[in-house]
């Protein structure tokens, strides 16, 4: 049964996922939709700064909690010998990349202007850090890591569009622009979402290994929960694209309120997905014959 350190690690890792994916997604969104989001760029920059800082702090806390999980008490949080050993493992490598990526993002965002390029490099570095740890990091094959990178980039991009789209929609004078942004995102999503799904399915199959393991192991059942949550997110995204975005383009004043409501629900489900992912990586072992 998981102890207090395991639960603390799940919460901390969820916060780390949220910070890194949201900050990276906002940076990626800035590059793809530079013209559409110009009026809300200061808000995006501030939000990305805060989320990048959250990601760095949570990454450090998660690393220290790994030490506590090994010792079974609070001494592991600051034990230099234990943390020094962890620093030399994949856990340490992932932390180093997250710190580098976070610092690059924070520096680029603070600089503004041409600093966005530095922030973009930081975002990619932080996302790549997730390929350095976990079951998929074992072995020398590159393609599972590239699948995971594509999966994470698609998720970050999806999360990153939520804030600017909602901010634009809340301004009556920007409602039509918000509609156009939503329409363009919908067009790109026809490529991004299949990438997310196909990469996720391929990764899940690599980890679970069989239909039997999917339905008879704790790891497989948690993965099913995650898939159900993602299915709800896809349904919400389709509702936005087919019903709300056309209303925004036509200038329907009620569309903004509807968008805010659905996006609030999307945020809740995104957090639930991140929590399920953290649980998969920390609480459940892979099936024996995966």
Total domains in the chain come to 1
- Rounded-to-integer distance, Cα 37 and Cα 175, Å: 12
- Rounded-to-integer distance, Cα 2 and Cα 13, Å: 15
Residue 97 forms part of a structural domain:
yes
Q: What is the pLDDT of residue 124?
A: 96
Residue 227 forms part of a structural domain:
yes
Residue 131 forms part of a structural domain:
yes
Say what the pTM is: 0.90
Q: What is the pLDDT of residue 118?
A: 96
Residue 288 forms part of a structural domain:
no
Instruction: Classify residue 184 as exposed, middle or buried by CB count within 10 Å of its CB (0-12, 13-18, 19+).
Output: middle
First to last CA, the chain: 22
**Pair 192, 241: CB distance under 8 Å:** no
Going by the DSSP 8-state scheme, the letter that residue 217 receives in this structure is S
Q: Which domain holds residue 77?
A: 4-282
Instruction: Classify residue 69 as exposed, middle or buried by CB count within 10 Å of its CB (0-12, 13-18, 19+).
Output: middle
Rg of the chain, C-alpha, whole Å: 20
Q: What is the pLDDT of residue 19?
A: 97
Residue 197 forms part of a structural domain:
yes
Q: What is the pLDDT of residue 1?
A: 41
Residue 52 forms part of a structural domain:
yes
Residue 240 forms part of a structural domain:
yes
Residue with tokens 């180093």: 96
Residue ranges for the chain with pLDDT beneath 50: 1, 290
- Rounded-to-integer distance, Cα 184 and Cα 33, Å: 9
Residue 141: which H helix or E strand, with range?
none
**Pair 285, 219: CB distance under 8 Å:** yes
Q: Residue 69: CB partners within 8 Å, gap ≥ 6?
A: 3, 5, 6, 9, 76
Q: What is the pLDDT of residue 288?
A: 64
Residue 290 forms part of a structural domain:
no
Q: Which residue blocks in 112-217 are alpha helix, DSSP H?
A: 115-128, 143-170, 175-208, 211-216
Q: What is the pLDDT of residue 11?
A: 92
């Amino acid at each position: 049964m998981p102890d207090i350190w395991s639960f603390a690690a799940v919460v901390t890792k969820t916060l780390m996922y949220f910070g890194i994916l949201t900050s990276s997604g906002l940076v990626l969104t800035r590059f793809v939709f530079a013209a559409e989001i110009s009026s809300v760029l200061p808000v995006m920059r501030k939000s990305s700064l805060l989320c990048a800082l959250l990601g760095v702090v949570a990454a450090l806390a998660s690393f220290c909690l790994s030490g506590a999980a090994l010792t079974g008490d609070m001494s592991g949080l600051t034990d230099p010998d234990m943390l020094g050993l962890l620093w030399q493992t994949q856990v340490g490598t992932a932390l180093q990349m997250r710190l580098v990526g976070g610092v690059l993002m924070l520096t680029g965002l603070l600089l503004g202007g041409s600093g966005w390029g530095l922030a973009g490099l930081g975002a990619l570095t932080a996302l790549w850090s997730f390929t350095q740890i976990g079951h998929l990091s074992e072995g020398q094959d590159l393609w599972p890591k590239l699948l995971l990178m594509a999966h994470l980039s698609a998720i970050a991009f999806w999360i990153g569009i939520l804030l600017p789209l909602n901010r634009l929609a809340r301004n009556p004078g920007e409602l039509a622009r918000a509609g156009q942004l939503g329409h363009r995102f919908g067009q790109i999503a026809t490529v991004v979402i299949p990438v997310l799904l196909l990469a996720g399915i391929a990764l899940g199959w690599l980890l679970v290994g069989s239909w039997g393991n999917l339905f008879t192991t704790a790891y497989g059942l948690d993965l099913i929960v995650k898939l159900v949550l993602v299915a709800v997110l896809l349904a919400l995204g389709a509702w936005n694209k087919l019903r709300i975005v056309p209303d925004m383009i036509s200038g329907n004043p009620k569309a903004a309120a509807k968008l805010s409501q659905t996006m609030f629900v999307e945020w809740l489900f995104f957090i639930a997905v991140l929590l399920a992912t953290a649980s998969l990586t920390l609480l459940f072992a892979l099936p024996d014959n995966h």
